């Protein structure tokens, strides 16, 4: 069985996965749609250099922030990483919070869509003329469940989802990526989770989140760049344009992070019926203890 560690943002998935990897001889496959991008270290809460040196990680820093990357591509890359890890006698451990990637990994896609520059341009022009709400409504009409998973302000993901719905279709066989997975969902009280999220944002700012944002903007000035569209960056756009205060931007980062966590919790309630719920508060929020609990359930 391949352990898959899931949970809302900020709950401590990475620390627990690292401890589990050390205990069972594992390597970690990141399931994060933003950790794939280079340079975006603080905003995406990437593992530290020390952690990366102690446990091998996969699918982190694999592409430039201005490059497109899809769930289908991740599922294929994940399957390749699983086979590579197993060939070395190690245990693959999948860890992350991009649940659409998890869905792709487990189920495959009946259809996928090629990148279509003409369609993308048409959709971008539609956003400029009628606003992102119009595109979100179009997506909802085509795929209501997918639309519910995407924040109304997340233009990039709305665009990509519509490309998949409206673009030229290809078959993507499910059986090419089927594996045996055991899903662990980390849980704690909503109050504790939100407290963790707020504290994590404060730590990100202390580490230089805004300075990292400025460097990314300087290197990739186009605000439509895929990597720039993430919580922790896009809130600062209005500050740079003198449309909002720094303090309110920080407040919005925390609020949007909590909103994202709420959507993740909804997904986790509705998906993966065979999941095992791990109450981290009962295990004193101790990563080593939680990892041991996972290891016992795994074997």
% of the chain at pLDDT higher than 70: 92
Looking at residue 168, its pLDDT comes to 62
- The predicted model gives 89-113 an average pLDDT of 80
Q: Give the least confident one: 17-21, 86-90, 126-130, 215-219.
A: 126-130
What contacts 127, CB < 8 A, 6 or more positions away?
A: 134, 135, 155, 159
Looking at residue 273, its pLDDT comes to 60
Task: Classify domain 111-172 by CATH number.
Answer: 1.10.20.140
Reported as a single tens digit per residue, the pLDDT across 183-196 is: 999 999 999 999 99
Reported as a single tens digit per residue, the pLDDT across 73-86 is: 898 899 899 999 99
Q: Is 60 exceeded by the pLDDT of residue 211? A: yes
- The predicted model gives 87-113 an average pLDDT of 81
- CA distances, 293 to each of 19, 23, 24, 53, 296 (Å): 11, 11, 12, 24, 5
Three-state secondary-structure class, residue 146: helix
Looking at residue 188, its pLDDT comes to 96
Q: How far is CA 7 from the centre of its chain?
A: 11
What are the residues facing 113 on neighbouring strands? Answer: 169
Long-range contacts of 246-253 (CB under 8 A, 24+ apart): 246/210, 250/201, 250/205, 253/201
Query: If you average pLDDT over every residue of the chain, what do you get?
Result: 89
Q: pLDDT grade, residue 50 (50/70/90)?
A: very high
Neighbouring CB atoms inside 10 A of 45's CB total: 20
Helix or strand (DSSP H, E) at 96:
strand 91-96
For domain 2-108+173-298, the question of CATH label 3.30.70.20 is answered with: no
Q: Is 50 exceeded by the pLDDT of residue 175? A: no
Domain ranges of the chain: 2-108+173-298, 111-172
Reported as a single tens digit per residue, the pLDDT across 256-296 is: 999 999 999 998 888 756 789 999 999 999 999 999 999 99
Q: pLDDT grade, residue 144 (50/70/90)?
A: confident
Looking at residue 111, its pLDDT comes to 46
Q: pLDDT grade, residue 8 (50/70/90)?
A: very high
Q: pLDDT grade, residue 122 (50/70/90)?
A: confident
- CA distances, 43 to each of 72, 187, 231 (Å): 24, 22, 7
**How far, in Å, CA of 255 to CA of 108, rounded?**
33
Looking at residue 81, its pLDDT comes to 94
Q: pLDDT grade, residue 115 (50/70/90)?
A: low
């Amino acid at each position: 069985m391949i352990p898959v560690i899931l949970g809302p943002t900020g709950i401590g998935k990475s620390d627990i996965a690292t401890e589990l990897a050390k205990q069972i001889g594992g390597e970690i496959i990141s399931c994060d749609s933003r950790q794939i991008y280079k340079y975006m270290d603080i905003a995406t809460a990437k593992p530290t250099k020390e952690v990366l040196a102690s446990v091998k990680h996969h699918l982190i820093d694999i592409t430039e922030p201005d490059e497109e990357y899809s769930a289908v591509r991740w599922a294929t890359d994940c399957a390749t990483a699983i086979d590579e890890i197993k060939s070395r006698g190690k245990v693959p451990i999948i860890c992350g919070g991009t649940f659409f990637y998890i869905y792709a990994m487990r189920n495959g896609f009946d259809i996928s869509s090629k990148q279509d520059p003409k369609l993308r341009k048409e959709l971008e022009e539609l956003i400029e003329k009628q606003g992102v709400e119009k595109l979100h409504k179009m997506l909802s009409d085509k795929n209501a469940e997918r639309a519910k998973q995407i924040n109304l302000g997340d233009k990039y993901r709305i665009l990509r989802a519509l490309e998949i719905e409206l673009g030229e279709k290809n078959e993507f066989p499910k059986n090419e990526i089927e594996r045996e997975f055991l899903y662990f969902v980390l849980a704690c009280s909503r109050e504790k989770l939100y407290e963790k999220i707020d504290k994590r944002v404060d730590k990100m700012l202390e580490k230089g989140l805004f300075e990292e944002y400025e460097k990314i903007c300087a290197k990739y000035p186009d605000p439509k760049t895929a990597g720039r569209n993430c919580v922790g960056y896009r809130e600062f756009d209005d500050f740079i344009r003198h449309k909002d205060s720094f303090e309110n931007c920080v407040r919005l980062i925390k609020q949007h992070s909590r909103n994202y966590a709420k959507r993740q919790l909804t997904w986790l309630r509705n998906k993966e019926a065979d999941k095992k719920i791990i109450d981290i508060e009962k295990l004193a929020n101790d990563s080593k203890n939680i990892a041991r609990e996972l290891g016992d359930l795994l074997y």
